[in-house]
Structure 1
């Protein structure tokens, strides 16, 4: 139906509403714009013509009428016009929970994560808004408020949505929530829950014709997404070719067990302060952010476990990269020994710094106790590789071990380690790839490796690293065969074929 103007003025004598007959409707700012539409008949067959409005302009009224007519043919859409987002989210969660109980739905951890998104952000922030009235500005306003939580800008913001979020996060289950700022990864996960719910509202429940969360979260840049880079092993043949040409065969390269061991030997002999971090990464492959974000309370040397519960992105603590990132890493005897020595070293540094020591309660930290920056680990890794290469270069020039050690102010043991083996270039993150490869090659179960690395699925672990692990095993086999001299093989074979007698 065509939009019309009406108001709530009453006749002074009859007290009846004047509506469309008010003489003042032609005046600017008086009344509002309304419209009616033909809705599906009620259960008893009666005609229904709901009214929408008021709107400030005729254009706004027509735009809203267009949205309504898009779903008016569906009886359910009319019945759901007063359903709030909070009601719909609770109803949808109940459906998903019942599916999970049959063994066909989501995992419990996924449901728990979704429940948290509902309780702490979506329902407090947007739950009061009707599903049909929700738009992209509401969604953007929620994410803007989330970014202000526990930051300085929170103090000057008196918005209602921020107040509701703060109240929701104050306590949960009788426990006070952490006071860290909200990271972008958490907002991304909340967005995934909201986007999925609104997709169900439009495609399954037919409450509305569109998804207002579409396009709200944009990825950085406009580059086309590249396929997954497959790691390659630095075999002897590839190392030899690299030394001649300087060309690295692939973007992601992985060291062999000998190369990784040589690097760790070099670090330890050099008395590299962050050797324990490199050791842990080479053995079990935690992500860089997880290494610098690990807190002392999450490391138990008695139980030989490291609990990975958070990561440090940029300069802020945040959740792990994925839900499967929450995990326990079992530690072997050698790693426990290295970490005990590291703990002793940190105590000595604390005593040396005295009152100036700033305890960040992290497993790995700077000498004054402050939290490491993630980029610092990568920087130290590059410096160590460069020093290793420089020592080898001096060795080729004929320098003695003692002279090289004095030149680089390091130990003779470190020089001897560097001279034993060439280390081709890899990135710090490639230690993680190497750990996955070595664990599989060592015969560890794929599921165990997937859990230690915090991968989303066993299929991902197998898909990326299985071939590489097989190549590592083959490379080791070739090196073993070459190591054992068999100079008399041909003569022995020839002798065995000579006929006897005659």
Structure 2
């Protein structure tokens, strides 16, 4: 009876349904060959399976590729109980059934055939998600290959965003994580990347301060990755891994979640006070990366720019008076400046991706705004328009119709970087303490707030999405302008003069 059962079991191995069996490692004393399923010790005297001799296994006929030999998923031993072997066999069958008769059935068979002895079979829910999504049910892709696939599949993003993703992948993610199989990537790999980047930062800083000119030259133009840059890099990695889970179904978890990076320190503007200017003249040190001129210094710069750069003076003035971003000023269109209603509409900007200028709409609803021009601002812009009309007449048919308000004397659009370069050149020539072009925008907000405007008005002028952003940036710098009122309370409170 037992041999008949065994024979039936073995006969069913070739039916495609699979079967479970029991075997042992005993050998024939005469031939020294293993008895396997023929060992008499596998059976009790009553005909049932012996519970303590041998182990259970199973085998399952797998779909094969045309022109290739038949193949099986075979586990010849390792299960103490028949139920355990049957459960795994059923698991394997359920995986194949996910794909029905589609080509993905062979992919699942490939995945099962690649499972090594002693390793668990793939999770059914994970494979089911991949089958439903129509993506590969099993992958040995590297993280680098998946990064390239992910970047290629991104659609509808701004060119600046795509450039950021591309740079993060090319410069950091692929060199450090590219060779790791996507399904093996874990938080240890990611932490190792950030450790390596921190070491690289330390090397760059050390080289820049080296007394050896050759060492300094080796890192000329190379900047260490700051906290904000690392946060942006991590955001790219986190987005990529989320898509590997939810879109491509190649992972079940995101190891980037929970990684701790050094916090991003907000760079708040500081004012070029007399003491700060004196120290800068003596040592060349700036009190901070973001600096704001006092109103007197700002006026001195505008006077200098009006004499030495008539083409860009109106643009610099508009940024300083009305707080436009560089790209917004470069992208300002002719019909955006309404002299009849005395308003300026900010809708478009010209930014640089790499060095390539890109024209696009402003990046948020708050950024798209209408602001009053003001009589003094309008007077300068009207004078500029008359001068620009003279340029057009001199150029004749060669004048390009860009539709932009601010253009070069030849009618072409200003490249944003060229505007910044001209500004920095003027600042150096003027002898004023250094500020960035973007700092003129900070100055506009600061002067407006110091003049009595509330935070909501400043927020709307600058195009901030939240008033909290405006408050966080400008509260500290306003203290420098409010020192003249520091004794207001003390002046109102009468005190007895000190005894002689």
Name the TM-score, length of structure 2 as normaliser: 0.54
Q: Which residue of 2 aligns with 1:449?
A: 458
Q: 1:243 aligns with which of 273, 281, 285?
A: 281
CA deviations 1:254-294 (Å, max 9, x no partner) are: 10112112211232344622111100111222222222233
- Map 1:470-489 onto structure 2 (within 5 A): 470-474=479-483
1:329 aligns with 2:305: no
Q: How many residue pairs get matched?
A: 343
For residues 167-316 of structure 1, what are the structure 2 equivalents within 5 Å? Answer: 183-185=159-161, 199=242, 202=245, 209-210=251-252, 227-270=265-308, 272-303=310-341, 304-313=343-352, 314-316=355-357
Q: State the SS of the aligned residue for 1:328.
A: strand
Change (3 A) 1:193 1:305: farther
Q: Is the 8 A contact 1:71 1:207 kept in 2?
A: no
* Distance change (3 Å), C-alpha of 1:430 and 1:436: same
Report the CA distance between 1:374 and its aligned residue: 1.2
Deviation (angstroms), 1:62? 3.9
Tell me the alpha carbon deviations over residues 73-112 of structure 1, each in whole angstroms, 9 at most, x when there is no partner.
x6xx67755544xxxxxxxxxxxxxxxxxxxxxxxxxxxx
Q: Is the 8 Å Cα contact of residues 310 and 326 (structure 1) preserved in structure 2? A: no
Partner Cα separation in structure 2 for residue 202 and residue 26 of structure 1: 29
Q: Which residue of 2 aligns with 1:461?
A: 470
Question: Is the contact made by 1:350 and 1:357 (CA closer than 8 Å) also made in structure 2?
Answer: yes
Gaps of at least 5 residues in structure 1 are 8-18, 41-45, 85-128, 147-164, 170-180, 216-222, 390-422, 479-492
Q: Give the drift of 1:188.
A: 6.4
Secondary structure of the structure 2 residue equivalent to 1:55: helix
Measured in 2, the distance between the counterparts of 1:80 and 1:267 equals 63
Q: CA deviation at 1:226?
A: 5.4
Structure number with bigger Rg:
2
What is the deviation of 1:332?
A: 1.7
Local SS of the residue matching 2:314: helix
Partners of 1:32 and 1:363 lie apart in 2 by 73
* Equivalent pair of 2:323/2:441 in contact (CA under 8 Å): yes
For CA contacts below 8 A with separation 6 or more, give which structure has more relative contact order.
1
Name the structure 2 match of 1:91.
Answer: none
Q: 2:199 maps to which residue? A: none
After TM superposition, the score normalised by the length of structure 1 is 0.54
2:178 matched residue in structure 1: none
Local SS of the residue matching 1:294:
coil
Task: Name the SS for the 1:464 alignment partner.
Answer: helix
Task: Name the CA distance, whole Å, in 1 between partners of 2:322 and 2:328.
Answer: 12
Taking the aligned partners of 2:120 and 2:369, their CA distance within structure 1 comes to: 47
**C-alpha distance in 1 between matches for 2:71 and 2:337:** 65
Q: Residue in 1 aligned with 2:228?
A: none
Give 3-state SS (helix, strand or coil) of 2:266's partner.
coil
* Alpha-carbon distance, 1:20 to partner: 4.2
Residue 372 (structure 1) shift = 0.9
- Judge conservation of contact 2:62–2:109 (CA < 8 Å) in 1: no
- Quick check: 1:346 aligned with 2:388? yes
Distance in 2 separating the partners of 1:456 and 1:467: 20
Cα distance, 1:477–1:386 mapped onto 2, change above 3 Å? farther
Q: Do the aligned residues in 2 keep the contact of 1:290 with 1:320 (CA within 8 Å)?
A: no
